[in-house]
Each structure stands twice: as structure tokens, then as C-alpha cells.
Amino acid sequence: MANPNRRPNSLHSSYSEAMQAAFFDLDKTVIAKASVAAFGPTLYRQGLISRRILIRVAVAQLIFLQLGADHNRLEKMRRSLLTLTRGWERDKVERIVRETLTQVVEPIIYREALELIEEHQAAGRRVVIISSSPEEIVKPLAEFLGADDAIATRASLDADGRYTGELEFYAYGHAKAEAMQAAAKEHGIDLSESYAYSDSHTDVPMLEAVGHPVAVNPDKELMREARAHKWPIVQFLHPMPLRDQKVRKRMRLATGLIGASVLGASGLAVGYWRLNRKTRLVSDHLRRLGL
């Protein structure tokens, strides 16, 4: 049940009867790198790309991090990837991604994004990862993050399950917004009460599709759009492996149990005070982010 004392923009704002959702872009929003580039070394070790291509991927990653991704740059990258992957076996690519997901992606997940995902799920919202990256990367990563669904680019396959070099669906620009609208219709989601997070101005249609858009690590163009529309602007700065977060949670739980058994009622009182203090700190952090 929603807390009536919460501010209207709180993640715990009152529910409408329809389901709410939170849509997260992936690259530079949930993770600190371009997901395709992050798997470059793995694909090289598996013999799918050459050293020359690996270097080109590294350069493209540097440009992406420094300058963002405009339409022309993304189109050039898309055409190059389609040419590169023609003939690859889809099942092999997906298997490689799943087998190396923890090693490749876990160290570059933003802690702030994880906290927001947990907040939205605690509030009963459907969490969706939506990305122009291939579904062979996005879907396993969404499962890894505990998201409810994923929307991603789908490549065309031949009869043998190999990439043809064409696309069935490109999750980019207005197509993202259209996919969100289709998901909303399928699952009964009220987009006017839902949230969306992205770093790129190419995702303005995605942000405009919801009632609560948030610019995360925005590029210059999105920064201008966000300021013009008075959208919240936040910075995610702290990649933190999920493993570290789980270990910390277990340590906190163990500490609380030991304290309770040794100190009895007074220990419980101290633990209760610390829990409330932590809750206030998290709430203050979210308010500073404008949420």
C-alpha cells in the first residue's frame, strides 16, 4: 500500500489501477560500457572476430564513451555489425554470452541502477530492459539483473539458425517507443504513470512515451532536452559487481543476527535504529536524485 506521506514524484507514489513499469536503456544507463563492445575480447577469444576488428571495437567504445551516440554513428555501427555477424550461429553467440555474462558484465553494472531496479520492483512495477543491442546479449543480461522483460534488436536468421545480415526489428528511436506501447497494451501498463531511463538523445521518443522520464548520464543533446522539459537529470557513477552487493547484504544480515543474539533486547533496539537510519539515508539519496 502506498504511503500517503510520500512526495508525488517518489518511487512509492500512489498506484493507479493499471500496472506501472520502469523501462531502462542498457548502455551507459544500467552498465558503464556499450554491451556489444564489452563482449569484444570474448568474441575474439572464441575466434569470431579478428584482432583488427577487436581494436576497432575498442576505438568505437572510446568514441561512444566520450562523445555519445548520434544517429550517423549508430547507423555506421549497425551496418558494420550486420556485415560482421553474417553467417554466425545464433545459438553459439547466445551460449557464449550466457557462459561469460558474469565475468564480462557484472563489474560494469551501475550500483545506482541496481538500487533503482530494486526500488521499482518493491513498488510493484514491471521492470523492462530496452536496448538497441542484440537480444542475444540483452535478454540474458535482463535475466541476470532480475528484470521482468527485455526489448531488444532482433536479427534475421536463415534456415540453419545463422545470421543473414538483416534485421527483423531494430530497437532504436521511435521503434523503442512503439515497442513500449505494444508491451503496455499486452500487459495492461499505464505508461502515463510509468518511468523511463536513458542516457541518449536518440531515446527521446522512449522518454516522451512515459509520465516520468529521467535522463541518466545524458549526452549534450539529451541534457538540453531534459532541461527544456524539466526532466530529472541524474548521474550514475559507481559500477559495483552484483557479487559484492550480495556479499555486503549477507554480512549485514549476519551482523544483525549476531548482535541480536549477544545483546538481546538492547541489541535489537540498536539494530532497529540502524535500519531506520539506513532507510532515511536511502530516501535522502533518492530525493537528491529528484525521484
Q: Which of the following is catalytic: 25, 199, 203, 219?
A: 25
| Digit-coded pLDDT (tens) for 134-155 | 898 899 999 999 999 999 999 8
What is the arithmetic mean of pLDDT over 224-252?
Answer: 75
Highest CATH level, class, for 21-234: alpha beta
pTM (2 d.p.)? 0.72
| Digit-coded pLDDT (tens) for 189-236 | 999 999 999 999 999 999 999 999 999 999 999 999 999 999 999 999
d(CA 34, CA 72): 17
Is 160 catalytic? The answer is no
**C-beta separation of 142 from 191 below 8 A:** no
Per cent of the chain over pLDDT 70 is 65
**Range with the lowest mean pLDDT among 124-128, 159-163, 253-257?**
253-257
Longest CA–CA span in the chain (Å) reads: 68
Is 27 catalytic? The answer is yes
**C-beta separation of 149 from 142 below 8 A:** yes
Strand (E) positions, the chain?
21-24, 126-134, 149-157, 163-169, 195-198, 212-216, 233-234
Q: Which of the following is catalytic: 27, 199, 203, 219?
A: 27
Res. 278: pLDDT tops 60: no
Question: Where do the CATH 3.40.50.1000 domains begin and end in the chain?
Answer: 21-234
Kindly indicate the confidence band of residue 268, based on its pLDDT and cuts at 50, 70 and 90: very low
* Mean pLDDT of the residues in the chain: 76
